[in-house]
Structure 1
Amino acid sequence: MLPNILKETVRGIQPILIEDEMLQHREVFLIEEVNRKSATDMIKQLMYLDRIDTGKPVTVYINSPGGEVVSGLAVYDYIKVMKSPVNTVCMGSAASMGAILFLAGKERSMLKNSEIMIHDPSFSAGNISGKKPLEIQERLDQLMDTREKLAGIIAERTGMTKKQVYQKTEKDSYLNAEESLKCGIATKIIE
């Protein structure tokens, strides 16, 4: 449970969740795995902020190991259609789908000792034992389509070519803040 802070209101001194206070300042956090629940929570917060003060910037702070591609892309797509500009800040680590969400930001800042990890999507949720060759091939084709989609996002947001992206994502690539800035993943380092 998040700690409360005390704030003076017209009703006197009231305990308020820190998360609520941060949301009032248009700050959203992804500090967990990307999954259906965390993605839905983020989208609701972003919708609310876009609705109450359209056009005013929102900051998304990320420290995430990544997670589900479909859920993450739902958040990414929503950020890209918002009327309010969204800036992202990497605190700690933005890995895998966390890195893709980091790339959704108009301005993408990293704390000095943060890192980004990008890689090809993996075949993790399904068991292929007992599957026939064409069923396995169908799953592999879906995985390659996802790889193409994610590489397209990275290339578009960074200015890298898809060939450069594929070279970086064929294995887990950990990039510190300076390396991220140099290859276009980050736009600024916060010191």
Structure 2
Amino acid sequence: MYISNEARIIRESSHGYDLIPIQDEMLSHREVELVGEVDAASVNALIRQLRYLQRQDPEGQITLFINSPGGSVDSGMALYDVMQAVSCPIRTVCVGLAASMAALLFVSGSRRDMLPHSRIVIHDPLIVQTGGSALKLKAVSDDLMETRQIIARVISEHSGKTLEEVLAKTATDSYFRAEEAVEFGLADHIITSLAEGC
């Protein structure tokens, strides 16, 4: 078995050769990934995969590899809710960067592993450029402040830090290298082999 340039696996069987997308092979080993922006498309694909894996084995661990700058709060919170709702433990592995909503998803894993040179970035939700009346701007601001509290509560719950400690960190962009993330309670382990924790 080897990987082609198009991220497909060529597998020989009694029927000849089959081209299999590498994501399908990963899924068969209960491994999924969040790479790139957190948006409706990436989240919906992951939700389908998590639901499928839960049906296959309601107790089996799923490993979610994350390398993402974050993205949509609504999409990210939808994935967070599903991660909490499935019966399977979900191990998260930070490969490179878990920032913003991706950091929240990483932190919520049942076991949180980081590769040695990976990083986590947490911060308050960002306002989307908007215009309009004063009442519209107030409604946007109120929603943003409520979202800030929700995100901070989730991080607090999974990190063991107080809400005030989390809010102090998210007030500005806070960067954590692997050792710092473990120390702050955002991660559990620094790993040097992807086989660790399986």
| TM score, norm. by length of structure 1 | 0.95
State the match for 1:134 in structure 2.
135
Q: Which runs of 4+ in 1 moved over 3 A?
A: none
Quote how far apart the aligned CAs of 1:12 are: 2.6
Match of 2:191 in 1: 190
Distance 1:149 1:138 in 2: 17
Which is further off, 132-141 or 65-74? Answer: 132-141
Judging changes above 3 Å, is the alpha-carbon distance between structure 1 residues 143 and 111 closer, same or farther for their aligned structure 2 residues? same
CA contact (8 A) 1:88 1:105 kept: yes
TM-fit CA distance, 1:10? 4.3
Whether 1:155 aligns to 2:159 is no
Check if 1:166 corresponds to 2:145: no
Aligned length: 188
**Equivalences for 1:57-76 in 2 at 5 Å?**
57-76=61-80
Question: 2:150 matched to 1:146?
Answer: no
Distance 2:71 2:175 in 1: 16
Cα distance, 1:13 vs structure 2 = 2.4
Structure 2 CA distance, aligned partners of 1:171 and 1:79?
A: 27
CA–CA distance in structure 1, aligned partners of residues 14 and 86 of structure 2: 33
Shift of 1:9: 3.2
Q: Match for residue 91 of structure 1? A: 95
CA distance in 2, matches of 1:69, 1:10: 47
Alignment of 1:47-126 (within 5 A): 47-124=51-128, 126=129
Q: Residues of 1 paired with 2:13 and 2:102: CA distance?
A: 36
SS of alignment partner, residue 54 of structure 2: helix
CA distance in 2, matches of 1:84, 1:127: 40
* Aligned equivalents of 1:2, 1:181: Cα separation in 2: 36
> Relative to structure 1, is the Cα distance of residues 67 and 2 closer, same or farther in structure 2, using a 3 angstrom cutoff?
farther
3-state SS in 2 of match to 1:178:
helix
- The one-character-per-residue Cα deviations of 1:134-166 (angstroms, maximum 9, x if unpaired) are 221111000000000000000000000011001
Contact kept in structure 2, 1:2 and 1:18, CA below 8 Å: no
User: 1:182 is aligned with what amino acid?
Assistant: E
TM-score normalised to the size of structure 2?
0.92
Q: 1:89-124: per-residue Cα shift (whole Å, max 9, x none)? A: 000000000001101210000000000000000102
Distance 1:109 1:66, change over 3 A: same
SS of equivalent to 2:161: coil
* Preserved CA contact (<8 Å) 2:9 2:21: yes
Preserved contact between residue 100 and residue 121 of structure 2 (Cα < 8 Å): yes
- 5+ long unaligned stretches in structure 2: 193-198
